[in-house]
Amino acid sequence: MIDDPQGTVLALFVVLCRVGGCMMVLPGFTSARIPVQIRMLTAVAVSMALLPLLWDTIYPRVSADRVTFIFLIANELAIGIMYGMLARFFTLGLQFTGTVITMMIGFNSPPAPDILEDTPENQVTNMISFAGLMVLFALDFHHIVFRAVIESYSSMPPGALFSSQKSLITLTDTLDQTMHIMLRLASPFILYGLMFNVSIGLINKLAPQIPIYFISTPYLLMGGLFMLYLSVAALLRLFAAAFPGVFIGG
């Protein structure tokens, strides 16, 4: 029997604020193809599962002072959103990599509807982003995120003042690490595009009367797609292997 029903509901709501704030921006869970009701019910189910583990930490804070409950909600939402943004920045980096690859191989086709979001996106970028997210789900990346959220209750307990400076530093470091990782993943295609275009430019200087750029575009595209075919498995494997280090390190 529950001795304090009101305190139990408030404790569950506090957990829901941090977990729901994280899931509100977590990649995959926030897809436009997932109904809002499913996202909300998933957040509530995860919060109910985590409440027994966090009961000793949250319930004394909730039952001690009801006046600061509004501050507690805002604080928990900010912490949860910060943890979710760490994972979202990393997955958006793969979209950046796909955009760089499409530019370097000359695949400048009209944008098509995105599989995950409502915004139009290039087909190669769409494929790489969806494949990377599918690999992360296959490796249970959300378990890493939820574990980090649980561990955050020891470093940032409920009621403690949210440090915006530390959060901005963490997000900035994550962006910096993500940019370096994604540039390394796209570096073969960047070198391929630069070498191909420099070579075509030299050939065009030798034969200026021939529209060499129009002739070379199919070869640029064919070589780039063949290179992507050979390297996409390694690209996704390195992307998935780098996720725990960037997220936990952030």
Q: In the numeric block, which tokens belong to residue 189?
A: 């295609």
| Residues found in the chain | 250
Spatial separation of the C-alpha atoms in residues 240 and 94, rounded to whole Å? 10
Mean pLDDT, consecutive 10-residue stretches, the chain (250 aa), reads: 69 87 86 83 88 81 66 85 88 89 85 75 86 88 86 81 81 88 92 89 77 81 90 91 72
The secondary structure element, H or E, covering residue 113 is strand 112-113
With CA atoms as reference, report the closest residue to 77 among 147, 159, 19, 146: 19
Residue position matching structure tokens 């404790």: 11
What's the pTM value of the predicted model, to 2 decimals? 0.81
pLDDT in tens, 156-188: 888 777 777 888 888 888 888 889 999 999 999
Spatial separation of the C-alpha atoms in residues 158 and 225, rounded to whole Å? 50
Spatial separation of the C-alpha atoms in residues 76 and 54, rounded to whole Å? 14
90-94's contacts with Cβ under 8 Å and 24+ in sequence apart are 90/174, 90/178, 90/242, 90/243, 90/246, 90/247, 91/27, 91/129, 91/132, 91/133, 91/136, 92/27, 92/178, 93/178, 93/179, 93/181, 93/182, 94/128, 94/129, 94/132, 94/182, 94/185, 94/239
Listing DSSP states for 187-202 in one string gives HHHHHHHHHHHHHHHH
DSSP three-state, residue 211: coil
Q: Sign (positive/negative) of CA torsion 57, 55, 38, 71?
A: negative
pLDDT in tens, 221-247: 899 999 999 999 999 999 999 888 766
